[in-house]
Chains A and B, each alone.
Chain A
Amino acid sequence: MMLWTFLLGAMPLDPLGDPLPLYLDESRVRSVLATIPSKLTTCPTDGDLTVKTRLSLSGAGKMTVLDLTGAPPEAADCIKTSVATLSAPKHDGADVEVKTSIYRRSGVWMMSPSPEIVRRAQVPLLLFVPGDDAAGLAIWEHLMGAEENER
């Protein structure tokens, strides 16, 4: 008991209880995305752009453009290169995939306010189902009364 008392005294106090940054949650993903526009100021473009993109944030802290549409080739290459130079937080999870848009309006780059984080399709169900995705999906559809592939 005495050991616990001293150990507690030595621990950093966290009055809020926010989750430890072990994995990326939505707010951390947003803060990473918010750093993108400042890196794009040197990318060559003439007019307004709406760029749809799919990004990956790896556990090692790297950000990569997986897909990109809506920009001329030179600007697209510049965006990919610029994004790759940014550092993202390291995390313990699998690569986080994000679908979002990058806008250029009147010479100003900005991010979409509503990025979509790609999540795992199947939720924990308290049943042990080690089969492939189809096995889990069949159980889910039976439980929910959904048609095949309807979610």
Chain B
Amino acid sequence: MRWFMLLLMTMGCGGRAIVATDGPAPARYRVNISGDFGPITDPVTGDHFQDEKDTTLTLTLAVVPVRRFTDGSMGQRVKIEHGALSISDQPYEDLELTGRTLELRTFPDGEILTLGWVDRVAGPKRFMEVFEVVFPAISPSPPSLRKGETASRRIIWPFLGERRLRWDSAVDAKWTNHGPEERGKTMAWRLSYNGPWRIHGGRRSGPEAFKATASGDAKGQVWFDKGSGDLTRHEFSWSREVQLAGPAARLTQAQSFTGQVERLP
């Protein structure tokens, strides 16, 4: 045992291993989300700006670790290899997501620390600030649980944009480990979660400051490969009531997201 520990220590103290000249192979995921959006209205004046929208977003993502940080977290480059959006069953041709990238910085347990460059996949024609549920969907962070155990752990992530724009999401999730299940030729741990979802933030200064708040619920199931511990599937159903408050008015929109993430072979 002592020799084995010595071997491990020697390996740990050695130079950085070159895994491959091209770096580690990316993990690829297919994401399908049905996003149902209620009308955009002013709850005070009753002004109505937009009708309901039923959408489907499909993404193929390539996630590859690119650097680590002194706090133990890791930066992973997320490339949107393909993105397609349909609204009321009609393809939305103006989507500007295919080929764009961002950096997902997480701790080894999956907890999201930052989403670098997320502002470059957000806003008009990109919409990832609305479909931000994709990020915890590919990087859930369950607690370490034995079969049958239940424990609470928050799912958190921030959205940071330019010019002091920021909001933070948190799901106070209660997790349960349902034990290993057969998934095709392999075994996977199945865990489920549910809890309230809250958001607060906005643009904090300047003449165009506004507050963004939301509350709702999140629930889902995740499967992790029993051998490697990799996420293999995530089914989720999240919903929220978004409220924006600017200097002159408030606006609300109900949003719900039902979908799944599947790791591609």
Q: Are A10 and B42 closer than 8 Å at their CB atoms?
A: no
Bound state CA distance, A50 and B229, in angstroms? 62
Residue of A nearest to B120 (CB): A23
A22 to B120, CA, bound (A): 10
Q: Which one, A1, A122, A127, contacts B244 given CB within 8 A?
A: A127
Chain B 99-119, CB-CB to A under 8 Å as 1, else 0, gives: 111110000100000001101
Residues 62-74 of chain B, each 1 if its beta carbon lies under 8 Å from chain A, else 0: 0001111110101
In the A-B complex, the 7 residue pairs with the smallest Cβ-Cβ separation, listed nearest first, are: A145-B248, A143-B246, A124-B129, A11-B68, A124-B122, A14-B67, A128-B37
Whole-angstrom distance between the Cβ of A60 and the nearest chain B Cβ: 12
For A144, give its contact among B130, B161, B208 (CB under 8 Å).
B208
Give the distance to chain B from A144, nearest Cβ to Cβ, in Å.
Answer: 5
Question: How many positions in chain A have a CB within 8 Å of any CB in the partner chain?
Answer: 44
Chain B residues within 8 Å of A, Cβ to Cβ: 11-12, 16-19, 24, 35, 37, 40, 42, 47, 49-50, 53, 55, 65-70, 72, 74-75, 77, 87, 92, 96, 99-103, 108, 116-117, 119-120, 122-124, 127, 129-130, 159, 161-163, 165, 167, 199, 203, 207-208, 210, 212, 214, 228-229, 242, 244, 246-251, 253, 255
User: Is A130 at the interface (CB under 8 A from chain B)?
Assistant: yes
A143 touches B122 (CB 8 A): no
Decide: A122 and B96 in contact? CB cutoff 8 A: no
Q: A residues near B, CB below 8 A?
A: 1, 3-15, 17, 19-20, 22-23, 92-94, 119-120, 122-131, 133, 135-136, 138-139, 142-146
Q: Which residues of chain B are within 8 angstroms of A17 by Cβ–Cβ distance?
A: 69
In the bound complex, how far is the Cα of B211 from the Cα of A144, in angstroms? 11
Q: A127-B40, A127-B253, A128-B35 given as contacts; is B77 within 8 A of A3 (CB)? A: no
Tell which of B69, B127, B207, B255 touches A13, judged by Cβ atoms closer than 8 Å: B69
- Complex CA gap A5/B229 in Å reads 13
Residues of B within 8 A of A23 (CB): 117, 120
Contacts of A15 in B (CB 8 A): 69-70
Q: Which residue of B lies closest to A4 (CB)?
A: B108
Instruction: Give every chain A residue within 8 A of B122 (Cβ-Cβ).
Output: 124
Q: Of A4, A11, A22, which contacts B102 at CB under 8 A? A: A22
Q: Is the CB of B12 within 8 A of A14?
A: no
Q: Known A128-B253, A130-B92, A143-B249; judge A136-B69 contact (CB<8 A).
A: no
CA of A119 to CA of B165 in the docked complex: distance in angstroms?
15
Q: Is the CB of A145 within 8 A of B67?
A: no
